[in-house]
Amino acid sequence: MTKILIKQGRIIDPANSIDRFGSIYIADGRIISVTAEPDGFRPDQVIDAIGQIVCPGFIDLSSRLREPGQSRKATIKSETLAAASGGITTLCLQPDTVPVIDTPAVAELIRDLAEKAQYSQVYPIAALTQRLEGAELSSMLALKQAGCIAVGNASQPLRNLLILRRAMEYAASHDLLLMFRPNDYWLGNNGCAHEGAMATRYGLPGLPEAAETIALAQCLELVELTGCRVHFGQLSCQRSVLKIEQAKNEGLPVSADVAIHQLHLTENDMTPFDSVYHVLPPFRSETDKQSLRQGLTSGTINCLCSDHQPHDIDAKLGAFPETEPGISALETLLPLMLKLVDEQALTLQQGIARLSSDPAQILRLNSGALTPGFAADVCVFNPELNWRVNSENWKSQGLNTPYWEQTLKGRVTFTLQGGKGIYCLLNA
């Protein structure tokens, strides 16, 4: 029975309304006590957390790890290590792998690979429809039993609302959460940049907000009709925040997240034609960014996600519209959250909650908190430590980040998953 002591840090555990200095006691993979030393506790390992923050390990609701199918871009091993180094102990994997997560075999393969890697734990999200084609339902129950935590559309538009209705009814029958990124097929119209002044200036095919808000509004109507629990992922505009707020006021069982980079960058921050800024949904206006920030503060938007999408170099080498969208984002999640705190968009407690207890609640996991009895998923970070985003520090196989060669503040020094050290910053 391994005993670990995380000594004398500032413990922030939003779910238990804790923010005080003290130690955490871990035995046999579980938290046994917070601040109060259990009788006769003799640690096998002591982690010095003086001057650091100790909080629940982060739970990321949307990431791509590229395995199976695209291991030239990244692997489960490389990306779960990157996650661990970013304090993320649990990842939800979007179903658009190759093959798609629409059979128990694929889900089990992913679970196996993640278990072998021994870093962060990975929950596959099952495809809502077979091959994500929007035509036939996936075997949701079997996928749930194979370890899938939810069903999702992985950004693929659902053109047929009858199929969506039935999929939601079926998911609701098995009490499965639908993780939905709203995106209308027709209005999307191959857009690659926010339909605004920048897209107009640079002649880039625009993606209107309505492509998101109309799909969102349709899905909200179907929530009302079917009673399916829906989590809306990676929202990008003010009007989406307003719609979620309204739906929540009406008592619909919905929640939402935003990708961290949407809270920091807008269309105006993009270096023209620089493909590292090619993300979907696209960077939108300053107004949208501010609304998303306010939504996160008020809790209308429940949590932050990385929307991690690692790419190989070739995927980003080309004229902007022809490159693949996405940012490698696991390792910048914490520093960019802390930047929001610095900019007074959030309190530190809120920021940690949006990364831990809030997503845990959506997934109905007994984690995201330092509650005695819970698995010891813990992140220790130094909020003042500056580090440079470069190949020396970067773990993800995807180097596609707009923060490359920039200095960020706040760095994870130790990550525990299930009481096991999965990351330790050397020379911290």
Partner 1 sequence: MADNLQLNDEGKLKHFLTIEGLDKSLLTEILDTAESFIGMSDQQVKKVPLLRGKTIVNLFFENSTRTRTTFELAAKRLSADVLSISIATSSTSKGESLLDTIRNLEAMFVDMFVVRHAISGAAHFIARHTAPHISVINAGDGQHAHPTQAMLDMFTIRQIKSDFSSLKVAVIGDILHSRVARSEILALNTLGAAEVRVIAPKTLLPAHVETLGVSVYHNLMEGLKDIDVIIMLRLQKERMTSALLPSESEYFKCFGLNEDKLKYAKPDAIVMHPGPINRGVEIDSKVADGPQSVILKQVSNGIATRMAIMAMAMQKPGMTS
Range in contact with partner 1 (rule: CB under 8 A) among 49-57, 90-98, 203-211, 292-300: 203-211
Q: How long a stretch of residues is the chain?
A: 428
Q: Is 14 in the site for partner 1 (CB under 8 A)?
A: no
To the query of whether residue 307 is one of the catalytic residues in this protein, the response is: yes
Specify whether the CB–CB gap between 401 and 389 falls below 8 A. Answer: yes
Q: Which of 200, 246, 287, 366 binds partner 1 (CB under 8 A)?
A: 200
Specify whether the CB–CB gap between 57 and 416 falls below 8 A. Answer: yes
Q: Is 203 in the site for partner 1 (CB under 8 A)?
A: yes
Q: Is 201 in the site for partner 1 (CB under 8 A)?
A: yes
Count of residues in contact with partner 1, rule CB under 8 A: 22
Specify whether the CB–CB gap between 133 and 160 falls below 8 A. Answer: no
Range in contact with partner 1 (rule: CB under 8 A) among 22-30, 57-65, 198-206, 301-309: 198-206
Task: Give the shortest CB-237-to-partner 1 separation in angstroms.
Answer: 13
Range in contact with partner 1 (rule: CB under 8 A) among 32-40, 60-68, 201-209, 351-359: 201-209
Q: How many CB atoms lie within 10 A of CB 271?
A: 9
Task: Return the number of the residue (202 or 404) whose C-beta is nearest partner 1.
Answer: 202
Q: Which of 319, 344, 392, 427 binds partner 1 (CB under 8 A)?
A: 319
Task: Give the shortest CB-206-to-partner 1 separation in angstroms.
Answer: 6
Task: Give the shortest CB-185-to-partner 1 separation in angstroms.
Answer: 15
Which residue type sits at 10?
A: R
Structure tokens at 42: 């003799």
HSE-CB of 314 using CA atoms within 13 angstroms: 3
Separation between Cα atoms, residue 30 and residue 375, nearest integer Å: 4
What does residue 166 show for φ and ψ, rounded to 5 degrees? -65, -40
Q: Which of residues 116-175 bind partner 1 (CB under 8 A)?
A: none
String of contacts with partner 1 for each residue 321-360, x by CB under 8 A:
xx--------------------------------------
Task: Give the shortest CB-153-to-partner 1 separation in angstroms.
Answer: 26
Task: Return the number of the residue (41 or 202) whose C-beta is nearest partner 1.
Answer: 202
Q: Which of residues 251-290 bind partner 1 (CB under 8 A)?
A: 271-273
Q: Which of 91, 126, 150, 204 binds partner 1 (CB under 8 A)?
A: 204
Task: Return the number of the residue (271 or 391) whose C-beta is nearest partner 1.
Answer: 271
Look-up of token digits 């206006």? 285
Q: Is 105 in the site for partner 1 (CB under 8 A)?
A: no
Q: Which of 199, 228, 237, 327 binds partner 1 (CB under 8 A)?
A: 199
Separation between Cα atoms, residue 233 and residue 305, nearest integer Å: 8
Task: Give the shortest CB-184-to-partner 1 separation in angstroms.
Answer: 16
Q: Is 318 in the site for partner 1 (CB under 8 A)?
A: yes
Separation between Cα atoms, residue 186 and residue 184, nearest integer Å: 6
Task: Return the number of the residue (104 or 196) whose C-beta is nearest partner 1.
Answer: 196
Closest CA to 44 of 372, 370, 378, 420: 420
Q: Which of 14, 104, 206, 419 binds partner 1 (CB under 8 A)?
A: 206
Task: Give the shortest CB-208-to-partner 1 separation in angstroms.
Answer: 7
Task: Return the number of the residue (68 or 205) whose C-beta is nearest partner 1.
Answer: 205
Task: Give the shortest CB-161-to-partner 1 separation in angstroms.
Answer: 21
Separation between Cα atoms, residue 270 and residue 261, nearest integer Å: 12
Strand order across the beta sheet in which 254-259 lies: 58-63, 88-93, 121-127, 150-152, 178-180, 230-232, 254-259, 303-305
Task: Return the number of the residue (98 or 197) whose C-beta is nearest partner 1.
Answer: 197
HSE-CB of 163 using CA atoms within 13 angstroms: 15
Q: Which of 57, 86, 188, 208 binds partner 1 (CB under 8 A)?
A: 208
Task: Give the shortest CB-131-to-partner 1 separation in angstroms.
Answer: 25
Task: Return the number of the residue (135 or 197) whose C-beta is nearest partner 1.
Answer: 197
- Catalytic residue, from 60, 96, 307, 377: name it: 307
Non-local CB neighbours of 125 within 8 Å, separated by 6+ positions: 92, 93, 94, 95, 101, 148, 149, 150, 151, 152, 154, 179
Positions annotated as catalytic residues are 307
Where on the chain is the footprint of partner 1 (CB under 8 A)? 195-197, 199-206, 208, 271-273, 314, 317-322
